[in-house]
Chain A
């Protein structure tokens, strides 16, 4: 199902075209004809590239025993491509008796042709600052975020172009480019399972009047009661009130008109979610989404991913931001008492990747495996849905695994369990048919485990060079086909498909 372009969407595009020369070009980019979808998957806490696709074997490093080089047998080279992978099992996560088995190589085998790893060195090891810089390229383009740039270019006609599903992180902070229409700034969907209920004012409310009467009451309120009230006459110039009254107009009609309370409802009718008794029903796509993300009811990342798919598939959003929460997540019924947890019971470590401070290797392995597993299932769903002309939704999508920073490389000699700190040096994983897939851009010095950069046009590895946040930002923007005249962004040709 594709939603037809709405008045609001057209207005958003029009507003963008008035905002400035660069924006005007961006607004004319192919919003409807050739859509693009950006999925930002936040690896909160520092997902380390040398604990995944640029892992170094102990035997390859002159300092393998004191740096975070992995035992040779745990470092895989799946599919013969440029990417490495860590497949690792442990009975504990640091001091926590939480056995798990982690796997990265399956993802590489399945999606290696669409994977691109680009090394870079960031500018902050502060979580909040680095998170925001990872999506703005350290204010590379007037401070707008990747999500906002995508929503501006490809969000026309979509009821909620930019949806933020993950909470408590700065990957979703608003950018500092105030020149854009408000419709491109992120909409927070803080509880994915219940959020669809907030997208209709009447359906499913016991004792609600019929739609025509309800709209008559709204029309009375909007057209007479409010405008003629002393309150609105007195405070009508309030920015808050103006926005409120605007949102009640076309945006509200777009959202309710698309029946998102149904289209985005992942849950089936159940005791916990008595939809039928309240006159509601599941999305027509809900069954396949639930099959892909069976833990959607209790695992926040799976519930986010389920909703993310529906937001894209139902034409609601052009960009979604999701990611592991920073609270521990356990399997349903996991016993936390004597005897410890069963294998796989801990799905998400506390503070996500940042629990590497306590148990670097276990946390990196478990959390990478978790992120890759969800990404794999999301990609599979998108691949199985045709958008148009024999092309799937995945053919138009890009997953950016955003993170703040890498992790420190040292370890006590020979230790398997150790803690790590924050380090500016890292690399980014981008997965998409739109990027120069199957490429490892840059490399790693096996004796320091520090990554080095590449030539942005040819991709030739350049030891001693460090790619910057603006360069990674630009590469993603350009792979997504967003025009950037006057922005001064570097040409990152090698990150684009068929470079």
Chain B
């Protein structure tokens, strides 16, 4: 059966559109700037509760400074936007991030990621983030890792461009970490840290 000319043209147009779909998605990634950009800092407690759930680590084990002091409740409570009316008499969260806030946030993100990667290494059957490549780490391994990280940390899919960027980063650090299982776990930790300490992870 011959397709009518108009139908054939439409079909070709649709196929062409599908073929250039990545380009269309890429163009759509240039999100417009908000005219009313109101965001809130995800304070330490909210941040750790979220990661506790998604990293499947009990809240009271997920981040402890010097293995003793809870990162949010004790060590960095005020610096990470909390209040402490009874002991420190700090009734309101800080208006502005302090100089120490982004450093402490990095520290917490690194601890949480290191904690999860260590658990993954210790019990591969229950690994969430770090899953060694069957052979040499390749693009597929990196994409799978990226997908797991975006899903667990930001709770959304990574875009094509985000996969590309993460893959480029992982390839870039591979020279220092090596390709061994140890090196792969280190890459996992670095990628986890970068994403877990990103602006998107810190604010909502």
Which residues of chain A from 231 to 255 have any CB-CB distance to chain B below 8 Å in the complex?
231-238, 240-241, 243-245, 247-248, 251-252, 255
Residues of B within 8 A of A240 (CB): 39-41, 96-97, 203
CA–CA, A108 and B191, complex, Å: 60
Q: Which 3 pairs from chain A and chain B are nearest by CB?
A: A168-B89, A201-B106, A207-B114
Minimal beta-carbon separation of A386 from chain B (angstroms):
28
Residues of B within 8 A of A228 (CB): 161, 165
Residues of B within 8 A of A327 (CB): 87, 89
Minimal beta-carbon separation of B9 from chain A (angstroms):
35
Given A213-B177, A225-B169, A241-B203, 20 new contacts (CB under 8 A): A168-B90, A188-B94, A189-B100, A190-B78, A204-B66, A206-B111, A207-B117, A217-B173, A217-B194, A220-B172, A231-B199, A234-B37, A235-B34, A237-B33, A238-B37, A240-B41, A247-B99, A251-B99, A252-B99, A325-B89
Residues of B within 8 A of A234 (CB): 31-34, 37
Of A49-57, A191-199, A401-409, the segment with at least 4 beta carbons within 8 Å of chain B is A191-199
Residues of A within 8 A of B84 (CB): 167, 190
Q: A198-B75, A201-B110, A205-B110 are in contact. Are A238 and B173 (CB under 8 A)?
A: no
Residues of B within 8 A of A235 (CB): 34, 37, 39, 199, 203
CA–CA, A241 and B42, complex, Å: 12
| Chain B 60-86 interface mask (CB, 8 Å, partner A; 1/0) | 000001111100001111110000100
Contact A187 B190 (CB under 8 A): no
Contact A198 B104 (CB under 8 A): yes
**Does A73 make an interface contact (CB < 8 A)?**
no
Residues of A within 8 A of B117 (CB): 207
CA–CA, A318 and B161, complex, Å: 46
Which residues of chain B from 137 to 188 have any CB-CB distance to chain A below 8 Å in the complex?
161-162, 165-166, 169, 172-173, 176-177, 186
Contact B114 A229 (CB under 8 A): no
**Does B129 make an interface contact (CB < 8 A)?**
no
Residues of B within 8 A of A396 (CB): none
Contact A278 B98 (CB under 8 A): no
List the A residue with the shortest CB-CB distance to B191.
A217
**Does A490 make an interface contact (CB < 8 A)?**
no
Q: A187-B98, A205-B107, A208-B110 are in contact. Are A224 and B34 (CB under 8 A)?
A: no
**Does A391 make an interface contact (CB < 8 A)?**
no
Contact B101 A247 (CB under 8 A): yes
CA–CA, A341 and B196, complex, Å: 50
Residues of A within 8 A of B128 (CB): none
Residues of A within 8 A of B200 (CB): 226, 229, 231-232
Residues of A within 8 A of B (CB): 159-160, 167-168, 174, 182, 185, 187-191, 194-195, 197-202, 204-209, 212-214, 216-218, 220-221, 224-226, 228-238, 240-241, 243-245, 247-248, 251-252, 255-256, 272-275, 277-278, 280, 325-327
26 of the cross-chain contacts (CB-CB < 8 Å) are A188-B79, A190-B90, A191-B77, A191-B78, A194-B75, A195-B79, A197-B65, A197-B107, A198-B79, A202-B107, A202-B110, A206-B118, A214-B190, A216-B169, A218-B194, A225-B166, A231-B198, A233-B31, A233-B32, A234-B34, A240-B40, A240-B203, A247-B102, A255-B100, A275-B66, A327-B87
Residues of B within 8 A of A (CB): 29-34, 37-41, 65-69, 74-79, 84, 87-91, 94-104, 106-107, 110-111, 114-115, 117-118, 161-162, 165-166, 169, 172-173, 176-177, 186, 189-191, 193-195, 197-200, 202-203
CA–CA, A202 and B30, complex, Å: 33
CA–CA, A377 and B37, complex, Å: 49
Contact B190 A278 (CB under 8 A): no
Residues of A within 8 A of B197 (CB): 218, 221
Contact A238 B99 (CB under 8 A): no
CA–CA, A187 and B78, complex, Å: 11
CA–CA, A206 and B197, complex, Å: 17
Residues of B within 8 A of A190 (CB): 77-79, 84, 88, 90
Contact B33 A274 (CB under 8 A): no
Partner of A225, one of B104, B165, B172: B165
Partner of A255, one of B89, B103, B172, B195: B103
CA–CA, A231 and B29, complex, Å: 10
Partner of B199, one of A187, A216, A232: A232
Partner of A205, one of B88, B90, B100, B111: B111
CA–CA, A113 and B97, complex, Å: 42
List the A residue with the shortest CB-CB distance to B107.
A201
CA–CA, A207 and B166, complex, Å: 22
Q: A199-B103, A217-B193 are in contact. Are A243 and B79 (CB under 8 A)?
A: no
Contact A238 B39 (CB under 8 A): yes
CA–CA, A217 and B193, complex, Å: 7
Minimal beta-carbon separation of A185 from chain B (angstroms):
8
CA–CA, A230 and B165, complex, Å: 14
